[in-house]
Amino acid sequence: MTTSSDFPRVHIATDHAGMELSAHLVAHLTAKGYDVVDHGPKAYDALDDYPSFCINAALAVVADQAAGVHALGIVLGGSGNGEQIAANKVKGVRAALAWNLSTATLAREHNDANVVAVGGRQHSVDEATEIIEAFLQEPFSNDERHVRRIGKIAAYENTGKVIA
């Protein structure tokens, strides 16, 4: 039997183009037992600036992980591109743009991505939900080659030096 402790805490943020999908995901994932933290926006504004919402969600993922809490993030937009870029500016975040089940699961399995970006205008609500659930449920493989590669990315992020 699966319990809510089996699920990661989920930090979610969006821009105006992803608000309908975000509201659906908050309700859907909460009903499934996930602890969902909504980083906004709280109201529709076609001129909103998504970076602050996405960066705050990414910061919360990193803070939870540093505290030993199993946490992942979701950032949504029209395409998901800008939101992914914003989240990736947070030290310790590996945000992946997922557009199908394969890219979602490989982001976790091979890259230990801790944030997924999805374009709300690119998918139906059901399709986007399936992609996000695949991301949230896929474990990292811990395969040595993937650990080594992620370590090289982290080394560059922390030192500015490229390791061959």
First to last CA, the chain: 44
The position carrying tokens 């943020």 is: 13
Contact between 109 and 138 under an 8 Å Cβ cutoff? The reply is: yes
Phi, then psi, of 108 in degrees rounded to 5: -80, -50
Beta bridge partners of 12: 38, 74
Distance, in Å, from the CA atom of 143 to the CA atom of 129, rounded to the nearest integer, reads 27
Contact between 50 and 40 under an 8 Å Cβ cutoff? The reply is: no
Beta bridge partners of 105: none
Give the total residue count for the chain.
164
Phi, then psi, of 37 in degrees rounded to 5: -115, 120
Catalytic annotation, residues: 83, 110
